């Protein structure tokens, strides 16, 4: 246990601070959402899958569901603020993080009342579609600036989730949770990698094969 703590402290010390914050945000999201699923797996593990929003409207799972979105948004905003003096890629990455944080909060807020009437449900659907479309475009942009072997895997994962979610939205499939999970995972892994190789101050450190080796991505 002591060696694990030392390794963790060393990793935090040697990793750009925005990268650490992005990792914390994504890990918080997936751990808390996994906890929500464990509390009530019946919402999604059935023949006609529901989406993750089901966990935001039931008392048993609403707290971990809400914390997942709030903490991920909080850490993403904190990371974005560290890029305010950088240029080009890092500056654009800052805008990406801000937009992502806003979409997370919008999705969360639109969750609570989406079962009450058609208008609120439509607002939630719009927020969900905007989020998954944003993640697709953002994933393609990050991949263009990373382009390692693992990044290709992450992009394919994101695209597969996007296609499954899209087909579910059109009524051809009923695997919304699986589509959302795959798309979110692919996007999250690209976001983490981008945060780990993008410097947060004055001189920008571009992603390189050497940088990939330093951060454990080959």
Q: State the DSSP H helix or E strand holding residue 125, giving kind and residue range, or none if neither.
A: helix 118-146
**Rounded Cα–Cα distance for residues 133 and 191 (Å):** 15
**Is residue 131, in this structure, part of any structural domain at all?**
yes
**Is residue 118, in this structure, part of any structural domain at all?**
yes
**Is residue 9, in this structure, part of any structural domain at all?**
no
What is the number of other CB atoms lying within 10 angstroms of the CB of residue 126?
A: 12
Helix (H, G, I), strand (E, B) or coil at 208: coil
Question: By residue range, what is the domain housing residue 210?
Answer: 19-214
**Is residue 8, in this structure, part of any structural domain at all?**
no
**Is residue 1, in this structure, part of any structural domain at all?**
no
**Is residue 7, in this structure, part of any structural domain at all?**
no
Q: What is the domain count for the chain? A: 1
Find the radius of gyration of the CA atoms of the chain. Answer: 18
Instruction: Name the nearest CA neighbour of 44 among 123, 118, 53.
Output: 53
**Is residue 6, in this structure, part of any structural domain at all?**
no
**Is residue 12, in this structure, part of any structural domain at all?**
no
Q: Whole-model pTM?
A: 0.84
At 186-204, the pLDDT tens digits run 999 999 999 988 866 544 4
Instruction: Name the nearest CA neighbour of 16 among 69, 86, 71, 92.
Output: 86
Among 63-67, 84-88, 164-168, 173-177, the range scoring the smallest mean pLDDT is: 84-88
At 44-100, the pLDDT tens digits run 766 555 678 888 888 889 999 999 999 999 999 999 998 876 668 888 999 999 999
């Amino acid at each position: 246990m002591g060696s694990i703590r030392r390794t963790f402290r060393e990793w935090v010390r040697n990793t750009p601070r925005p990268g650490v914050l992005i990792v914390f945000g994504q890990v918080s999201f997936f751990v808390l959402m996994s906890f929500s699923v464990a509390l009530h797996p019946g919402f999604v593990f059935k023949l006609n899958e529901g989406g993750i929003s089901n966990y935001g409207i039931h008392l048993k799972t609403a707290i971990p569901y809400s914390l997942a979105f709030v903490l991920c948004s909080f850490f993403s905003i904190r990371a974005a603020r560290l890029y305010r003096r950088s240029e080009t890629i890092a500056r654009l990455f800052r805008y990406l993080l801000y937009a992502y944080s806003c979409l997370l909060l919008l999705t969360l807020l639109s969750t609570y009342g989406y079962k009450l009437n058609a208008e609120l449900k439509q607002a939630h659907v719009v927020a969900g579609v905007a989020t998954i479309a944003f993640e697709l475009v953002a994933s393609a942009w990050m991949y263009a600036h990373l382009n390692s072997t693992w990044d290709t895997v992450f992009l394919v994962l994101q695209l597969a989730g996007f296609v499954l979610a899209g087909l579910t939205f059109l009524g051809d499939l009923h695997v919304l949770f699986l589509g959302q999970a795959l798309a979110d995972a692919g996007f999250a892994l690209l976001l983490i990698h981008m945060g780990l190789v993008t410097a947060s101050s004055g001189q920008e450190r571009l992603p390189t094969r050497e940088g990939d080796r330093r951060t454990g991505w080959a």
